[in-house]
Amino acid sequence: MNQHLINYLSEFVTSERLDLFERTLAQRTRYLTIALEDIYQPQNASAVLRTVDCFGLQDAYIIENNNKFEVDREVAMGATKWLNLKKFNKKENNTQEAIKYLRKKGYRIVATTPHEGDINLEDFDLSKGKTALFFGTELTGISDIVKNEADEFLKIPMYGFTESFNISVSAAIILHHLTHQLRYHTDLDWHLTPQEQAEIKLSWLRRSIKTSALIEEQYKLKLKEGL
């Protein structure tokens, strides 16, 4: 990572913005992440991404099998600008590809749905390792592939007549609880590494500066000329 480039681009944003970057990066995590499978309502998709940003998760994984994932910018309130989004939409079975990818990165696959042997949210054990929370489509929930591949099942206890929450509400409840636990868990190293922080800071700087590409070209030219 080119720390000199980060320092150079930092000159083109306010000190207040840089301070905000540093404070936010100190609270960002990849210990928890989410995977959204076939979400088709833009308002729900956008509300979930806004929640992901608010609770300090850096990544979201988007699975498109039958439905295209679309963002409602008014609902998202710019959240996508600060997140790393990875889409799985090139294969015949994108869900399987996403699970394989996340397992390779060390995540346990956790399906957010009632199931035999499921775990109540309050009893979920974060210390067992990095967690990828899978949320399914609005009508039918997660697919059978996720159910068959899941390492664990997580549910939110409910006491009314309705069987489930809206997906954006479910995500907000689960992430509020788990990120609160995470930040008070003294035995877990959930922070981003210095390398990860540098990479994300550079991407945020590029997104914050309208002419960042031109400024980088000028920077490279200066280096070439030895200035």
Annotated binding residues: 112, 156
**Position 170: which residue type?**
S
* Residues that constitute the known binding site for S-adenosyl-L-methionine: 112, 156
Q: In what order do the strands lie in the sheet with 108-112?
A: 84-88, 59-63, 32-37, 131-135, 108-112, 152-155, 119-120
Q: Would strands 32-37 and 59-63 be described as parallel, antiparallel, or unpaired?
A: parallel
Q: Which helix (H) or strand (E) holds 111?
A: strand 108-112
What is the Cα–Cα distance from 220 to 227, expressed in whole angstroms?
A: 10
Question: What CA–CA distances, in Å, run from 77 to 48, 51, 86, 113, 199?
Answer: 11, 11, 19, 28, 23
**Position 36: which residue type?**
L
What is the Cα–Cα distance from 133 to 119, expressed in whole angstroms?
A: 13
By the 8 A CB rule, do 151 and 110 touch?
yes
Residues in the chain: 227
> What are the tokens at 8?
């150079």
By the 8 A CB rule, do 28 and 52 touch?
no
